[in-house]
Chains A and B, each alone.
Chain A
Amino acid sequence: MDAELLELQQQFESAQQAKSSVRLSERNVVELVHKLQELHFLDSDILHTVTGKEYITRDHLRHEIEAEIRKSGRVSLIDLSDAVGVDLYHVESQAQAVVVGDPGLAIVNGEIISDSYWDSAAEEIDEKLQECSQIALAELAAQLRVGSELVVSVVEPRLGKIIKGRLEGGQLYTPAYVSRICAMVRGAARGITVPTNLATVWNSLQQLLQDTDGANGVSVEGAFFQSQFNGLVKEGEVLGSLRAGVQWTPAVFAHAQRASVDSFFSQNSYISYDVLQKLAIPQPKQYLQSRYPEGIALDGVFVHPSMVEMLDAAIEDAIEHGNWIDSLSVLPTYVGPQDVSKILSLCPSVQREIKAAKAIVMGESCIFSNSYVKVKFKSLH
């Protein structure tokens, strides 16, 4: 017999004996797996994909989730569910487990975000910051699609390390920008010579910034100016005093005020409250009393005791010579009638003479000596 024929015969035989490849329909497999689960040959926690075509164990799901996270550092649970093709419920529970197992991960608003993602985000932020010199956190939050509080918590620990800048009132600034603003504030503050409301100053600075930076210039909040300003005040770069947080009185102004009050008062021994009001001293009486404790505060003017002494001397002289005197003629014109009686009550000679009935006060300001009145009566008779 032909050897080739024999060979073929054997080949045919072995082809018939060969094990046929097993083909199972999906339905069969599902039933088989179900059966295996029922018989506890498989771990009971087998999940299946949303397509229903694949089975997946929890461990493998966790691996896949980890791999997805490694890809970009940030992945939303919903996208994750799509990517691994497993129901969101299981993805969520496994994601929790993954996050608990890795301190570098956190679930934020349904997204798993790793620390490395934040690091790279911070690098991006820094790049942008160096370009624009300032960024609002709200803008960053919108860009990263996370809450601004989260952005703060992310940015703050990386300030000075990855992000070279500073955080001020919800905005990030580069040191250069900060020093520029600082210079602006210092210039403005030093230029002010009269008491000013700072808010108006900041507004004009803001206007100036916008004009120079053009449309893309970002609005700097007044609070930022204010904090810069406060820093300058604290360092003694600008001198003055701040009242109610916004009212700035420059030292140079206070100095001029004091100098003019001093010179007027020392020259005239009195000063009218009107004058002080003109110098923008809001409470002249208190101001003067604290500055000149020896002075006498009247309703309309503030007088030095020397004024009273002078009046006293004049009245004493008039009474002694049997004459009369109108105090108003001696006193400065600012002294009103009601103030006169007050001054008179302070004159020791007047009080003494009236007590001794040597003089009488008439029409509030006029002092007549008794002898003068008697002479007048006699001449009338």
Chain B
Amino acid sequence: MEGWDPSTKSSLTQIPLLSTRAGPRDGAQWTQRLKEEYRSLIAYTSMNKSNDNDWFRISAANPEGTRWTGSCWYVHNLRRYEFQLQFDIPVTYPATAPEIELPQLDGKTHKMYRGGKICLTVHFKPLWAKNCPRFGIAHALCLGLAPWLAAEVPVLVDSGMIKHKDDEASSAAAES
């Protein structure tokens, strides 16, 4: 687990691990897996809340729980930048990690695949593979999206690629 900052590491170790190895096509097993996903997400969310480190909202977009949508935000220079968040549970889950998408940032940074899928760190994939059935959505968010936001949002803001919504409104007003 080298290469992660200490706070990520400490929160990661506190997220409950999962045990059921099942993908969306595994029927009742998948339901079991989904329950575990919810439990770990609940634990992760409440942990974030108690540390005043709440940074995302997600919910299952379909009853099967294979598509998830929501939002995430990052506070930079005392301003909150919020982005829409979506991802699908791949068929080969949990062997394959979900590919988290931030569609609003599509094309704004090169650390991203087409469609707004974020480009995860080199550390993420092997770690996920190693902890195959035990890591879930909460771990993916914690290890994948959170460091990505921390690394990319400041660069994007400073380079002017993304603007705070107040600034956008004011600049739009200035233009019209």
Chain A residues at the B interface, C-beta cutoff of 8 Å: 1-2, 4-5, 8-9, 11-13, 15-16, 18-23
Interchain CB contact under 8 A, B35 and A8: yes
Given A13-B59, A18-B46, check contact A5 B38 (CB 8 Å). yes
Chain B residues at the A interface, C-beta cutoff of 8 Å: 31, 34-35, 38-39, 41-42, 45-46, 48-54, 57-60, 63, 65
By a CB distance below 8 angstroms, the chain B residues around A23 are: 51-52
8 contacts between A and B (CB under 8 A): A9-B38, A11-B38, A12-B41, A12-B45, A21-B49, A21-B52, A23-B51, A23-B52
By a CB distance below 8 angstroms, the chain A residues around B42 are: 8, 11-12, 15
Q: Taking CB as reference atom, which chain B residue is nearest A18?
A: B49
Residue of B35, B54, B65 near A20 (CB, 8 A) is: B54
By a CB distance below 8 angstroms, the chain B residues around A11 are: 38, 42
By a CB distance below 8 angstroms, the chain A residues around B58 are: 16
CA distance A23 to B50 in the complex (A): 9
Interchain CB contact under 8 A, A1 and B50: no
CA distance A19 to B59 in the complex (A): 17
Interchain CB contact under 8 A, B63 and A1: yes
Given A8-B42, A20-B54, check contact A15 B49 (CB 8 Å). yes
Q: Taking CB as reference atom, which chain B residue is nearest A9?
A: B38
Residue of B31, B51, B60 near A2 (CB, 8 A) is: B31
Task: Please give the distance in Å from B42's CB to the nearest CB on chain A.
Answer: 5
Task: Please give the distance in Å from A305's CB to the nearest CB on chain B.
Answer: 126
CA distance A23 to B75 in the complex (A): 14
CA distance A303 to B90 in the complex (A): 153
With A20-B52, A21-B50 given, name 5 new contacts (CB 8 A).
A1-B63, A8-B39, A15-B41, A18-B46, A20-B50
Task: Please give the distance in Å from A223's CB to the nearest CB on chain B.
Answer: 78
Task: Please give the distance in Å from B75's CB to the nearest CB on chain A.
Answer: 12
Interchain CB contact under 8 A, A5 and B51: no
By a CB distance below 8 angstroms, the chain B residues around A18 are: 45-46, 49
Q: Which of A2, A8, A19 has the most chain B CB within a 10 Å cutoff?
A: A8
By a CB distance below 8 angstroms, the chain B residues around A15 are: 41-42, 45-46, 49
